[in-house]
Structure 1
Amino acid sequence: MAVTDAAPPLPAHPDPQLAAVLTDGLPHQLSYALGGPFHLLLPERFDANTAAFRTVLDEAGVEGRVYYAKKANKAAAWIERCAVTGTGVDVASLGELRDALGHGVRGEHVVVTGPAKADRLLRVAVLQGSLIAVDALDELDRVIATARSVARPARVLLRRLPPAQPHSRFGLDERESSTALDRCRTAGDALVMEGFSFHLSGYDPVQRAEFAADLVELCLKARAEGLRADRISIGGGFAVDYTDAAHWETYLREQRPEHYHAGKSFTAADFYPYHSPVAGPDALRAVLAAHGLAGRLREAGVALLLEPGRALLDRAGCTVFRVQGVKDRGGHGIVTVDGSSLSLSEQWFASEYLPDPVLLPAPDRAPQATSDEPYAACVGGATCLESDMVTWRKVRLAARPAPGDLLVYPNTAGYQMDSNESPFHELPLPPKVVLDSVGCGATRWRLDR
């Protein structure tokens, strides 16, 4: 199919480690053994990303802790690494808290976030000495009551409503915060108020630094009133850089409805910012530099907590589908794979996962006359829904796919693998396969759970 029908290319950044895995035959062996789509996990990348964030804190001379936002990926592999390395975990449900504790994460290394937490969650969190980000006044009352009922002090942060996002459903406004501080002071031994936190949408490091600086001042005021108040949490919001600037700018400039199956249209605002000039640990470095935040934290003796999810999973995994069929239709191809868009969760946001998939031809397939010609195709799931499109755009593939070939979507560990998974049509959920290094460039694989 003519590549002129295709959307502009958007290749992921080169990844030699993943390329070596994809070319050693293992993906085809796993596809045969597992009988369906699967996810590959690279825990060493998770370790490296976590260490890079800690290095930024050390370079700035700022005391702090990194918490992995567990909602970004359900795999046990990441929590196992958190337990080993002493990395914290950010949870928002009783199931997530139990999972973290069950994999060896210490209770005091867990922060519990989310709105209107269930009483059972609060009880376990208090008993385990976890840090609780309190989102509302009634929740604070329930925390205090829970602490008194189990005779254990509750560790809390007061979650503030960002003035720049006054319509957010998260956090306490100024009046509520004042009331909360009064209740913290009168709670006595039932509660230790350790500081403040916030949830801020977007990836602007300056805006994040501005509000963090405000929270430092709030800590000093609360400390003067007898509360501990020696730490703040700035949440997540550290972008991941999936592709280079030139390809990203070209894609946004040139993409149009004709590049998508059925003329579907997207605007630039519909997409995650797949290129970010300041991403991951560099974004934390930018936050600490803005408004002299690092110096202010040191001067005030306030620790910085952060809760990245996607950024700790950068290049830590990919998703593999097997081609089941190919048809030529209306100037482009339609490739059907052995799974569904529910296993690539950007569709959950009415968007499109844009890093281009990589075609891995089956090692035993017969040569085709068009096998060396580029081919433009969208990718559909193996369900009866018109809307089940893994890839709406007509992506440029190196050749016309054939049944048995594989399509590999790179860098999907952050939010893509399981945020929206469902065994629709009784299709099994794609298993997660962990690749463990055993030295000398060799790896072994195991199922995640």
Structure 2
Amino acid sequence: MGLTGADAPAGTGPGSRGEHAGTVAAPLPAHRDRWEQDVLDDPRLLGDIAFAIGGPFHLMYPPRVAANISAFRQVITAAGISGEIFYGKKANKAACVARACATAGAGIDVSSTGELVAALGQGIRGADLLITGPEKADELHWLAARHGCLVAVDSLGELKRLAALDIPVRILLRALPAASASRFGMPADELDQAVTAAAEHPSISLAGFSFHLSGYDPIPRADLAVQLLDRIRAARAQGHPATMISIGGGFGVDYVPAGHWSAFRDEVNRRWFHSGKTFESYYPYSFPDAGPAMLAAVLERDDLAGKLRRTDTTLAVEPGRALLDRAGSTVFRVQGHKTRHEHGQPYRVLTVDGTSLSLSEQWFDSEYLPDPVLWPAGPGTPTPTVAGATTCLESDMLSWRRIPLPRAGVTGDLLVYPNTAGYQMDSNESPFHELPIPPKVVLSQAPGGRFRWALDQF
């Protein structure tokens, strides 16, 4: 959502900074799906939901989750390999997302008993659950083993505790990438020990290996997967089934057009931000090969797909954010407004009825950059605008950046932040000031195309 193409006011497109180039931020309009545009175009829907909820809320559109799963599966099918998709549940805890995964045939990656129980409650079968995380609790081990889940084992000590349950369980051994300082996974010598130890316990079935890498580069993921194919062969030689490699998540999401993102990166300066705020880094909001396209790049590297086929090895992926691309938005109501001046130029300060904890990029000391949309649309003068929270903290800003909104926001308007389903809604929420945590509102389409809505049900 945001200003795009002909909708952008003069002087705010990529490469054009307008009269006050130093103080008005470059626009970052988000890619927008048809469902999002229909919601914005509906003259009543958002206003009716806001009235009923009485505070900020999150919109969820589960059909988009199903479409994202399908796009990943198409890449797997086109490569001619066996593949499994596990949704990284930590990215969003909404029940409707888990239900969409169950309906679309995807599994779920969970890291707590709460996540495991919630996934089962939405129709995910135990065999379709991957249990990840470091040094998992004994209760989680027991419940996972009882339900036939696949468990990614993080250490030799965890393997020993899991074996002590004496319940049949399938496992992956998590590898520590070479030269990595991560606290997760096992180095080469411990992996060797774990393979040998697994053979000594009849209850343990070694299904393969897994790893996670930070960043969004497909090359190291493919290279490590190729290396682990050697371990697959060696484990089979010791009598293990060893049929799977999981390459984790980290599939990028393309939030904004490349030209706008390039203009932002080339020109960003502290004069664009309220009080001269600066950030050391941002999520890379434009990806040339995002989500499924990144998976295709991984499979093409060093003929990984061919090697998986020839060794009859299944590739598992654990996307979180990428399966939630364009599946939700976050809506705040404007409670008040004022004008501030910096560097001799005025800008609007909106106060909304929620907090920056519902835009969790603040958790990483960064800013969620895709432009929010001011609803309802209407005539007006383009107005640089920042958005602050309803709390008493000076630092509680939803948007420090002076966003070039198409008109001046006023009390009662809604500010709609796009594409927030991936991590933004759920990673840092808190009832600070005893404010309610924003509920999730699930949209569906009735016959005839109109939207219906209901609260998400756990």
Query: In which range does the TM-score fall when normalised by the shorter chain?
Result: over 0.9
Structure 2 residue identity aligned to 1:145? A
Equivalences for 1:156-235 in 2 at 5 Å? 156-163=171-178, 165-187=179-201, 189-235=202-248
* Map of 2:10 onto structure 1: none
Identity, in percent, stands at 53
Is the contact between residue 362 and residue 405 of structure 1 (CA under 8 Å) also seen in structure 2? Answer: no
Q: Take 1:14 and 1:327, find their aligned partners in 2: how far apart are those partners?
A: 30
1:65 aligns with 2:84: yes
* Map of 1:104 onto structure 2: 123
| Corresponding residue to 1:350 among 351, 365, 385 | 365
Is the contact between residue 126 and residue 154 of structure 1 (CA under 8 Å) also seen in structure 2? Answer: yes
Q: Take 2:34 and 2:387, find their aligned partners in 1: how far apart are those partners?
A: 25
> Cα offset for 1:362?
8.3
Q: Name structure 2 gaps, 5 residues minimum.
A: 1-18
Is the contact between residue 69 and residue 104 of structure 2 (CA under 8 Å) also seen in structure 1? Answer: no
Equivalences for 1:369-448 in 2 at 5 Å? 372-448=380-456
Q: Take 1:3 and 1:97, find their aligned partners in 2: how far apart are those partners?
A: 52
* Map of 1:336 onto structure 2: 351
Is the contact between residue 362 and residue 406 of structure 1 (CA under 8 Å) also seen in structure 2? Answer: no
> Cα offset for 1:195?
0.3
1:273 aligns with 2:284: yes
Q: Take 2:70 and 2:313, find their aligned partners in 1: how far apart are those partners?
A: 21
1:306 aligns with 2:317: yes
Q: Take 1:312 and 1:410, find their aligned partners in 2: how far apart are those partners?
A: 15
Deviations along 1:305-324, one digit per CA (max 9) or x if unpaired, are 11000000000000010000
Is the contact between residue 361 and residue 404 of structure 1 (CA under 8 Å) also seen in structure 2? Answer: no
> Cα offset for 1:211?
0.4
Q: Take 1:57 and 1:64, find their aligned partners in 2: how far apart are those partners?
A: 6
> Cα offset for 1:329?
1.0
For the residue of structure 2 that corresponds to 1:283, the secondary structure is helix
Deviations along 1:311-358, one digit per CA (max 9) or x if unpaired, are 000000000100001100123221100000001110000000000001
* Map of 1:368 onto structure 2: none
Is the contact between residue 65 and residue 101 of structure 2 (CA under 8 Å) also seen in structure 1? Answer: no
* Map of 1:317 onto structure 2: 328
1:11 aligns with 2:35: no
* 4+ aligned runs moved over 4 Å, structure 1: none
> Cα offset for 1:17?
2.1
Structure 2 residue identity aligned to 1:309? G
For the residue of structure 2 that corresponds to 1:279, the secondary structure is coil
> Cα offset for 1:396?
0.7
Deviations along 1:383-422, one digit per CA (max 9) or x if unpaired, are 0001100001111111111100011001000000111000
Q: Take 2:284 and 2:323, find their aligned partners in 1: how far apart are those partners?
A: 17
For the residue of structure 2 that corresponds to 1:236, the secondary structure is coil
Deviations along 1:62-97, one digit per CA (max 9) or x if unpaired, are 101101100000100011112222210000111000
For the residue of structure 2 that corresponds to 1:114, the secondary structure is coil
Change (3 A) 1:179 1:378: same
| Corresponding residue to 1:40 among 59, 65, 77 | 59
Of 3-12 and 233-242, more deviation after overlay is shown by 3-12
Structure 2 residue identity aligned to 1:402? V
Q: Take 1:397 and 1:15, find their aligned partners in 2: how far apart are those partners?
A: 20
Is the contact between residue 279 and residue 365 of structure 2 (CA under 8 Å) also seen in structure 1? Answer: no
Q: Name structure 1 gaps, 5 residues minimum.
A: 364-370
* Map of 2:41 onto structure 1: 23
* Map of 2:375 onto structure 1: 360
> Cα offset for 1:59?
0.8
Q: Take 2:425 and 2:91, find their aligned partners in 1: how far apart are those partners?
A: 9
Is the contact between residue 317 and residue 413 of structure 1 (CA under 8 Å) also seen in structure 2? Answer: yes
Q: Take 1:362 and 1:226, find their aligned partners in 2: how far apart are those partners?
A: 65
Is the contact between residue 46 and residue 78 of structure 1 (CA under 8 Å) also seen in structure 2? Answer: yes
1:85 aligns with 2:104: yes
1:292 aligns with 2:303: yes
1:240 aligns with 2:240: no
For the residue of structure 2 that corresponds to 1:322, the secondary structure is strand
Deviations along 1:165-210, one digit per CA (max 9) or x if unpaired, are 52011110011111111101111x2110000000110111111100
Structure 1 residue identity aligned to 2:111? A
Of 9-18 and 333-342, more deviation after overlay is shown by 9-18
* Map of 2:13 onto structure 1: none
Q: Take 1:226 and 1:440, find their aligned partners in 2: how far apart are those partners?
A: 58
* Map of 1:366 onto structure 2: none
1:137 aligns with 2:148: no
Is the contact between residue 234 and residue 307 of structure 1 (CA under 8 Å) also seen in structure 2? Answer: yes
Count the aligned residue pairs. 433
Structure 1 residue identity aligned to 2:297? A
Is the contact between residue 219 and residue 230 of structure 1 (CA under 8 Å) also seen in structure 2? Answer: yes
Q: Take 1:333 and 1:296, find their aligned partners in 2: how far apart are those partners?
A: 57
| Corresponding residue to 1:51 among 44, 47, 70 | 70
Q: Take 1:390 and 1:377, find their aligned partners in 2: how far apart are those partners?
A: 11
Q: TM-score when scaled to structure 1?
A: 0.95
Q: Take 1:157 and 1:105, find their aligned partners in 2: how far apart are those partners?
A: 20
> Cα offset for 1:16?
2.8
Is the contact between residue 3 and residue 376 of structure 1 (CA under 8 Å) also seen in structure 2? Answer: no
Q: TM-score when scaled to structure 2?
A: 0.93
* Map of 1:367 onto structure 2: none
Q: Take 2:20 and 2:319, find their aligned partners in 1: how far apart are those partners?
A: 38
Q: Take 2:296 and 2:99, find their aligned partners in 1: how far apart are those partners?
A: 27
Structure 1 residue identity aligned to 2:240? L
> Cα offset for 1:3?
6.4
Q: Take 2:124 and 2:214, find their aligned partners in 1: how far apart are those partners?
A: 28
Q: Take 1:360 and 1:444, find their aligned partners in 2: how far apart are those partners?
A: 19
Structure 1 residue identity aligned to 2:39? V
